[in-house]
Amino acid sequence: MIGFLIDMDGVIYRGGQLIDGADRFIRRLRDDNIPFRFLTNNSRRTRRDVMMRLRTMGIDVEEDHVFTCAMATARFLAQAKPNGSAYVIGEGGLLTALHNNGYAVVDKDPDFVVVGEGRTFSAENLDKALNMILGGAKLVATNMDPNCPTQGGMRIGCGAIVALLEAASGQKAFSVGKPSPVMMRGARKTLGLDAARTVMIGDTMETDILGGVEIGYRTALVLTGSTKRADLPNYAYEPTWVFDSIADIDPLALEQTMRRAPLAPPEPSEPEPALMMSI
Ligand SMILES: [Mg+2]
């Protein structure tokens, strides 16, 4: 059995329009009980919002099929510092995920300044965040995408807002969304599959494909979004497969190819620390 991590914008829809055949691909995964998750670097929406948006476009999915960078960020923070506090520049999806993971959203002395996608940034809250960072709060980004396509052109992405805070504070942000292994691994674990049986499908080399390559998944680039075939020689890494569209992917054919050409066996695990000391 293999499973899929699937980017949405440029793969399932573009400019609010469903990409032809994307609904049939998802239907096939569901009919054949092939596990999958939608992976998005947009932290504005909750997973329920994302589910509803996909359903409106005719894609039959449940909440459990959605994994957002807001969820990945909140889970990461809850592990790093349980029951901590955050000052948030972001929207509902991020606020909900933080609350669901035991975080308090505060206006003073936070453990973390967390920046996500959205329209809520202003000179006032950026100044506030800057002073918190200079006072010791850690800067965390849901993702570093510099901009996002919209129906009316591009809008400023989370990464651009974070770059502004990095420049002002002299501190580097930690980013959780694609291509970070924190998000790539977190999503794969919810599938219950190991890396050798996981395929990442996406349209963006810098996030979807790079994240998959770095963590050792097979990757399928689709050409319905931000990347053209002619762009590929500009990168030092490449996807395992290139498809014109997600509609052209045959899950069973991929599984057979993967079985014929297995990845190298995993490295032997490192010895336990106690054992190392006795040596
Ligand atoms: Mg995309």
The CA distance from 183 to 216, in Å, is 14
Average pLDDT (211-238) is: 97
Q: State whether CATH 3.40.50.1000 applies to domain 70-175.
A: yes
Determine the pLDDT at residue 152.
Answer: 84
Q: Among 18-32, 197-211, 255-269, whose mean pLDDT is lowest? A: 255-269
State pLDDT tens for residues 77-102: 999 999 999 999 999 999 999 999 99
Give yes or no: 9 in active site.
yes
Catalytic residue among 9, 23, 111, 203: 9
Distance 226 CA to ligand 1 centre (A): 7
Flag whether pLDDT at 245 surpasses 70.
yes
Flag whether pLDDT at 264 surpasses 70.
no
Q: Which pLDDT band, with edges at 50, 70 and 90, does 171 fall under?
A: very high
Determine the pLDDT at residue 261.
Answer: 82
Give yes or no: 7 in active site.
yes
Determine the pLDDT at residue 277.
Answer: 39
Q: How is domain 3-41+179-259 classified at the CATH fold level?
A: Rossmann fold (3.40.50)
Average pLDDT (161-168) is: 98
**Average per-residue pLDDT in the chain?**
93
The CA distance from 181 to 176, in Å, is 8
Determine the pLDDT at residue 270.
Answer: 52
How buried is residue 275: exposed, middle or buried, by Cβ count under 10 Å (0-12/13-18/19+)? exposed
State pLDDT tens for residues 15-69: 889 999 999 999 999 999 999 999 999 999 999 999 999 999 999 999 999 999 9
| Distance from the first to the final alpha carbon of the chain | 40
Where along the chain do the CATH 3.40.50.1000 domains lie? Answer: 3-41+179-259, 70-175
Q: Which pLDDT band, with edges at 50, 70 and 90, does 108 fall under?
A: very high
Share of the chain above pLDDT 90, in %: 87
Distance 217 CA to ligand 1 centre (A): 17
Distance 98 CA to ligand 1 centre (A): 24
Q: Which pLDDT band, with edges at 50, 70 and 90, does 262 fall under?
A: confident
Average pLDDT (244-250) is: 98
Distance 216 CA to ligand 1 centre (A): 20
State pLDDT tens for residues 110-124: 999 999 999 889 999
Determine the pLDDT at residue 63.
Answer: 96
Contact (Cβ atoms closer than 8 angstroms) between residue 84 and residue 109: no
Nearest alpha carbon to residue 118 among 87, 138, 142: 142
The CA distance from 245 to 265, in Å, is 31
List CB-based neighbours of ion ligand 1 within 5 Å.
7, 9-10, 203-204
Distance 64 CA to ligand 1 centre (A): 20
Flag whether pLDDT at 104 surpasses 70.
yes
Flag whether pLDDT at 272 surpasses 80.
no
Flag whether pLDDT at 205 surpasses 60.
yes
Q: Which pLDDT band, with edges at 50, 70 and 90, does 268 fall under?
A: low
Distance 225 CA to ligand 1 centre (A): 6
Distance 197 CA to ligand 1 centre (A): 22
